[in-house]
Amino acid sequence: MAAGKLLTELGEVQLAIDLIELGARLQVLESEVSLNRGRLVRLYKEVAGKSPPKGMLPFSTDWFMTWQPNIHSSFFYTLYRRLREGQQLERMQAVIKAYRLYREHIQLHGDEEVLALTRAWTLIRFFESGMFQLSECGKCRLQFVNHAGTPDADYVCGVCQPPSRAGKPLKKTRSVRAKAT
């Protein structure tokens, strides 16, 4: 009995460490890990080398609907779903693995990391609460994050139909960097 409890506690500590290393906010840890707040704060300081940031978690669903965040969120959620369904991973293990795969992909391609772990976790919660659905793009046939209940018969994603100013500040930043080197 005591050995089982110890193993459970070690699993919770490892989960907390994994989440902290990926940049989770304290509120995420409190929601997903059964350790008390004091212990989580101490663990956060030990792993991250600083106190956890203060402030509220992002809540608006609108952030996920803007052009670039929608593409990144849709990519992450697709990874998450595949891990849950294909590998039968538990919820938080799938979140961690999908987020690591997302970061690896972003770094490999030299792209900007748009989706922080806390936002990725929030995205999962929005799907679980029925606030989001996946809508299939009528052109590329890929699925993208969309508000639940939105008619999507004529849906076109932000990749197939980007907004007129999409990517312009990034191109300017890259050209400024290129001239500096």
User: Annotated binding site for Zn(2+), which residues?
Assistant: 137, 140, 157, 160
CA triple 30-36-40, angle to 5 deg: 65
Binding-site sequence positions: 137, 140, 157, 160
The amino acid sitting at 50 is K
Q: Residue 125 class from Cβ within 10 Å (0-12 exposed, 13-18 middle, 19+ buried)?
A: middle
Alpha helices in 33-167 (DSSP H): 37-48, 67-86, 91-108, 117-128
